[in-house]
Structure 1
Amino acid sequence: MQCPVCNHENGDARFCERCGSNLTGNHASSDLTDTVTHTDSGSADSEYTRWSSTQQPASYEAAPTRSSSVSPVPSSVQDNENASNLGSADGSAQNQGANQWSNIVQNEKVQQAKEVSKQYLSYFLSVLARPYQSMKTVGEQHALHGLVTMILFALLTSTYVLITFGRLEADGLFISGFLRPLLYAAIILVVAIALIYGVLKLERITFRPKMLVAQLGTLLIPAIITLVLANVMIFISYSFALSLLVLSYIILFVSMNTLLFHHPLDRTKATIDSIYSVLIVNAVLFYVIYRLLTSVIAGFYSGLFSPFGRW
């Protein structure tokens, strides 16, 4: 221990060996100082050790917790999800494109139908004044108009029968009053075209089938007006409406004969004259109309006196 007076090193003595100063108080104070110093350093070390021991595991445990809560997604799963997202996007795009295309097609069809209806209306009005003169000037491009005229002829005929069945409260309106007359009227028109075609082939006349349909449809325009009047007049006078219906089919006969004689019928080397060929054609068409008409009338009376309810 160092003497505080003369700075002599005395070891563990209580009194200084050089000057005799009392070293007890300094020793105690130095021991106390050393004790306090060691105690403070120990406490600090213990605090640091305790803090580090409590903080480090927490930090080490926090990292696995975060890693467990947010686990890395495998690349295959991410690829599948990306592929599914791209597939759904492509599918929605394709569906949207298909819907847009269908809308465009529908709009085009509607526009085409409107254009055809406008063209047919102007064609109808122009032909109505001079059917025969118009028949000589039509071309193959009017075949669609002729076909529309024939469809209207069949529909108006079946509508007339349907209204008649409805006014007389007959049964089986849909079949006997609409479908059957519609089918029969279509058969009559097909037979008329087939007969004209056969005669022209027999006469060895060069012609085009589309032109034949266009010409016959042009000549049937007055029959359409007659059938429209018949469907209207049935609510006013049944007998007059029936007369108009008969007149429309007379126009069909006249149109067929007009179309036949429009072509140069010349069978000088044949055993039968052309007039007889035309008469045969008219007889066949009349027989077909008679048979179909009797079938419609038979269906009408069977529905009128049927004990079953209306279909």
Structure 2
Amino acid sequence: MNCVKCGHPNDRDARFCESCGANLQTETGTHPNPVLSKEEAAAAASTTAGQTGSSQAYIEKTKTVSKQYFSYFLTALKNPVQAAANTGKENFINGIITIVLFALMIPLMSYFALKSAFSSYNSGWFSPDISFGAVVIKPLFILLIILALVVLIIFGAVKLGKSSAGFLDVLARFGTFLVVPASFFVIALIISLIGSYSFVFFLLLGLTAFSFVIPLIIYSYKKQSNGGLDAFYSILLSYIAIAIVFMIISDAALENIEEMLDMMNPFGF
């Protein structure tokens, strides 16, 4: 009989494979003949090896991407203006990662701050329920939509300045400038985990740094192009458009805040 693992031919009454040592009785069960031929066993072994190789390749690729992003993050943190000037569409994946990280930090620190603030009420007649979905997931999607619209507005302002930059270029540069505000948010999140309200200071620093991102991007592209709308008016129009977006989306944000307050209301009104 042929071994179902390696395909090596063995005597019919053999109990173990002469090649790989597999238990032939266990592998073949009650069937006297092998289930797989030598060629089929070799093909199965090749498929298993291919799957293992694919998994290892995926793991190695993930490690490589992580190392590249960490290097990108440190470079942008050290010299944000210079790093952004050298950033193109080839870095748009890093930009997306930074944007998601930035958007995730605010609801996460809010969640942990609320958990810490109401931890003393987890026993007794007042036991507030802090929903992760309402405090983190929903605001995350809202913030991602807002940031996507902000990038689109910045792209429109850049095109008004007669720049040849594409949308992915603007997205990548936006993500690079967002590294510094995201760093402040990470620090604020860590502080919120230990229950200290000083995280608000770093939150405000992050928001202040974010306010410089829009003019820096528009001005950086304007320096590389001639003609078109002046950078001052491009920045002004961008802020007007962003203010309109905030007014439109504020209803959804207010509903989310009301839902959070309802969850923490011990009296139900």
So what's the TM-score if we normalise by structure 1? 0.62
Write the deviation string for residues 199-255 of structure 1: whole angstroms up to 9, x where unpaired: 2344443212221121111101111211111112223432x3234324323333321
- Tell me the equivalent position of 1:294: 254
* Cα distance change on mapping 1:141 and 1:268 into 2, 3 Å: closer
2:258 aligned partner, one-letter code: A
Residue identity in the other structure for 1:299: E
- Give the alignment partner of residue 278 of structure 1, picking from 206, 218, 238: 238
Q: In the alignment, which residue of structure 2 is the partner of 1:156?
A: 105
Supply the distance in 1 between the matched residues of 2:246 and 2:34 (Cα, whole angstroms).
Answer: 70
One-letter code aligned to 1:194: L
CA contact (8 A) 2:153 2:238 kept: no
Aligned length: 224
- 1:97: how far off? 2.9
* Equivalent residue runs for 1:124-273 within 5 Å: 124-167=73-116, 168=118, 170-234=128-192, 235-238=194-197, 240-264=198-222, 266-267=227-228, 273=233
1:292–1:218: structure 2 CA closer, same or farther, 3 Å change rule? Answer: farther
Q: Larger Cα Rg: Structure 1 or Structure 2?
A: 1
Cα 1:98/1:287, change in 2 over 3 Å = farther
Instruction: List structure 1 segments (4+ residues) > 6 angstroms apart after TM superposition.
Output: none
What is the rounded CA distance, in whole Å, between the counterparts of 2:38 and 2:267 in structure 1?
A: 62
2-side partners of 1:90 and 1:158: how far apart? 57
Structure possessing the higher relative contact order (Cα contacts under 8 Å, 6 or more residues apart)? 2
In 1, the alpha carbon distance for the partners of 2:98 and 2:181 equals 9
Counterpart residue type for residue 196 of structure 2: S
Shift in Å, 1:294: 3.0
Report percent identity of matched pairs: 22
1:270-310 deviations in whole A, cap 9, x for unaligned?
xx9435413313423543675554344222212112679xx
The CA distance in 2 between the partners of 1:131 and 1:288, in whole Å, is 31
Gap change, CA 1:176 and 1:307, over 3 Å in 2? farther
Instruction: Identify, as 1 or 2, the structure richer in helix.
Output: 1
For residue 102 of structure 1, what is the aligned residue in structure 2?
51
Q: What is the DSSP-based 3-state SS (H/G/I as helix, E as strand, rest coil) of the residue aligned with 1:207? A: coil
**For the structure 1 residues 179 and 281, does the alpha-carbon distance in structure 2 shift closer, same or farther, using more than 3 Å as the test?**
same
CA–CA separation in structure 2 for the residues paired with 1:275 and 1:175: 35
Q: Distance in 2 between matches of 1:289 and 1:249?
A: 18
Paired AA for residue 305 in structure 1: N
TM-superposition CA deviations, 1:177-201 (whole Å, max 9, x none): 2211221221121111111122234
Inter-partner Cα distance in structure 2 for 1:282 and 1:223? 18
SS at structure 1 position matched to 2:165: coil
TM-score, structure 2 normalization: 0.70
Q: 3-state DSSP class of the match of 1:205?
A: coil
Query: Cα offset for 1:102?
Result: 2.0
> For residues 289 and 179 of structure 1, what CA distance do their matches in structure 2 show?
16
Separation in structure 1 between the aligned mates of residue 261 and residue 229 of structure 2, nearest angstrom: 50
Change over 3 Å in CA distance of 1:274–1:215 after alignment to 2:
closer
Task: Report the Cα distance in structure 2 between the residues aligned to 1:286 and 1:132, rounded to whole angstroms.
Answer: 27
